[in-house]
Structure 1
Amino acid sequence: MKNKKIGGIISILLVCILGIFIFETKDHVQASKNSNNPLPIPAPVIMVPGTNGDVDRFDSLVDSLRQSEKGVDEIKITVNMDDSITSSGHFTKDTKRPIIAIAFEDGSDPSLPKQSRWFQKALEYAEKYYTFNTYDYLGYSNGGLIITGYLENEQKSNDPSLYHLITLGSPYNDTSWDYNDNSSTFTKPKAESDLLKYYLKNKKNIPKNITVYNIAGNVDNQNSDNTVPLTSVLAGRLIYGDSEKYKEITVEEQADHGSLIENPKTLQLIKEYLFESVK
């Protein structure tokens, strides 16, 4: 009798463990069903965070978008240091506004060139399950540098094409005042940082038929978002200024670097440039 009770308890535990496993892997199973027959989706908005940011960095932004936009679904992709992929979430045929958050196990500043290569790996992974020819991109902080490095050095001929690009507080000329003027206007850098020189080197490879919105924060008119000097962000015009459309926008309320994603004006601009444009 005692052995039967122990056997029953073990059976119950096994069922519980199996149930937890199925629940935890649900999104991955549903995604993998599409691997042999990728699901066509509208052009996704790909969001990439800054230094050491993870795939949850845009959660508050996505929640805000869901309050006003219909059919917003999100998948999250993390590229690990060994090129393997960790993912969650899925899209369906009812998804109208697909969002793909991409981050990297190593999100450190020295690994920026690797992150551009890993971004290409993430695109390939997404295309195993979903079909899309174009995408829009929101790059926060170093996220703007990652897409720049990808377009210059890592883009493959069969990759989906970038359409709209928003960079948000991206330090194109690094964050040091040694390279940047304490000014609200930009004509040329005080000095070119190694970072800017790196991205100027192959800018010819960036497609010209894209629309670029370069957004900067300016806290209390101090010409900085308290992390990135204003002129560093505006140095993006040296890279993207000859795009089909290039526009610079400065926000001043809730404009410190860490709050730029949650800034109400930023949210409105994202809706206008990345969502209303496809309605």
Structure 2
Amino acid sequence: MRHLTSWRSFGLIIGLVVLLGVPGLLWRSHQVAVVRATYKSPVAPVILVPGSSATQNRFNALVKELNGQTKTQHSLLRVEVKTNGHLVYNGAIRHGDKRPFIVIGFQNHHDGAVNIRKQARWFAIAFRALQRTYHFNHFSAMGHSNGGLVLTLFLENDLAATGATADRLMTIAAPFNLEQASATVETPLFKQLVAGRDRLATSLIVYSIAGSKSYTGDGIVPFASVNRGKYIFQKRVRSFTQIIVSGANANHAHLPENRQIVRLIRQDLLV
């Protein structure tokens, strides 16, 4: 009888220990989840995506110009995504560089909505590979022309699965309604971007820049098409700022080297 009582007492003690330990375990699990959700990696690359007909070398001059204007020299890594998903690297990220530039270009860099959607999927392949190698969980990005559409598609459709956070997005002459200059006609790609806007992170800060070579656009992309970006980002992301750049180098091809835009990249992305 005494033996049975002893076992009952022992069992009661064990039960109390387990019961008291459960809240601690739950609290610890909660803390781990909070840390994972709030921790930001020291490395936060600035990812650049060129437009159609441009390669991963498109921003060499831009990066050189930015490095000439900043005290910290930023590394430049260029990545080309082949049509089979294979990645070709050129350049390197210097150890300790917290804001390296990474340019992601595509072997198939042709124009058109079909290719833009393909490029967004290829971009996702490159992004995941870079994330595994360089262990970052947040970044900023800039896309020129169709590069802005590639980034927007990625942010809507693939970013959440990576566990990373986009801090800031800058689009330069991004034709959200493609070449359509009419304010009443909506292309299928624009409708897709609007339909996916609810998947954009509400913490995202967005800058949409339009060139003004004439009163209607930058010589290639109609201003009305760039202006459609407000229907995708406005009242969805943390902030949406639209900027019109005129003067020297305000035509479509030269916008990334425009002095005003270089200053905006330095001020708003390299932060």
TM-score, L = length of structure 2: 0.80
Counterpart contact for 2:51–2:147, Cα < 8 Å: yes
Q: Residue type of the partner of 1:173?
A: N
Structure 1 residue aligned with 2:101: 99
Structure 2 residue aligned with 1:21: none
Distance 2:199 2:82 in 1: 27
Secondary structure (helix, strand or coil) at the match of 1:173 reads coil
Of residues 133, 140, 143, the one that matches 1:136 is: 140
Residue 237 (1) aligns with residue 230 (2): yes
Q: Residue type of the partner of 1:274?
A: L
Distance 1:156 1:213 in 2: 21
Q: Residue type of the partner of 1:74?
A: L
Distance apart, 1:41 and its partner CA: 5.2
Secondary structure (helix, strand or coil) at the match of 2:256 reads coil
Distance apart, 1:241 and its partner CA: 0.7
Secondary structure (helix, strand or coil) at the match of 2:194 reads helix
Q: Residue type of the partner of 2:78?
A: K
**Structure 2 stretches of 5 or more lacking a match?**
1-40
Distance apart, 1:107 and its partner CA: 1.6
Distance apart, 1:176 and its partner CA: 2.9
Paired residues in the alignment total 226
Distance 1:235 1:246 in 2: 12
Q: Residue type of the partner of 2:128?
A: E
Q: Residue type of the partner of 1:207?
A: A
Secondary structure (helix, strand or coil) at the match of 1:86 reads strand
Distance 2:257 2:251 in 1: 10
Distance apart, 1:111 and its partner CA: 1.1
Distance apart, 1:42 and its partner CA: 2.2
Deviates more, 1:134-143 or 1:68-77: 68-77
Structure 2 residue aligned with 1:255: 250
Moved beyond 6 Å, runs of 4+: none
Distance apart, 1:52 and its partner CA: 2.5
Residue 228 (1) aligns with residue 221 (2): yes
Counterpart contact for 1:135–1:162, Cα < 8 Å: yes
Secondary structure (helix, strand or coil) at the match of 1:162 reads strand
Distance apart, 1:156 and its partner CA: 4.2
Q: Percent identity?
A: 31
Distance apart, 1:153 and its partner CA: 2.0
Secondary structure (helix, strand or coil) at the match of 1:258 reads helix
Q: Residue type of the partner of 1:161?
A: T
Deviates more, 1:127-136 or 1:160-169: 127-136
Distance 1:239 1:87 in 2: 33
Of residues 169, 175, 185, the one that matches 2:173 is: 169
Structure 2 residue aligned with 1:10: none
Counterpart contact for 2:116–2:150, Cα < 8 Å: yes
Distance 1:123 1:72 in 2: 19
Counterpart contact for 1:77–1:101, Cα < 8 Å: yes
- CA offsets, 1:233-252, max 9 Å, x none? 01001001121010000001
- CA offsets, 1:143-162, max 9 Å, x none? 11001111222234334211
Secondary structure (helix, strand or coil) at the match of 1:93 reads coil
Distance apart, 1:195 and its partner CA: 2.2
Of residues 202, 211, 216, the one that matches 1:217 is: 211
Structure 1 residue aligned with 2:77: 75
Counterpart contact for 2:45–2:98, Cα < 8 Å: no
RMSD of equivalent CA atoms: 1.4
- CA offsets, 1:210-236, max 9 Å, x none? 00000000114x221000111110100
Structure 1 residue aligned with 2:48: 47
Distance 2:55 2:163 in 1: 24
Q: Residue type of the partner of 1:191?
A: V
Distance 2:95 2:262 in 1: 26
Q: Residue type of the partner of 2:194?
A: L
Counterpart contact for 1:41–1:93, Cα < 8 Å: no
Structure 2 residue aligned with 1:6: none
**Structure 1 stretches of 5 or more lacking a match?**
1-39, 181-188
Distance 2:76 2:61 in 1: 12
Distance 1:96 1:43 in 2: 6
Distance 1:176 1:232 in 2: 6
Deviates more, 1:238-247 or 1:200-209: 200-209
Secondary structure (helix, strand or coil) at the match of 1:120 reads helix
- CA offsets, 1:57-78, max 9 Å, x none? 0011000011022131011111
Distance 1:135 1:106 in 2: 25
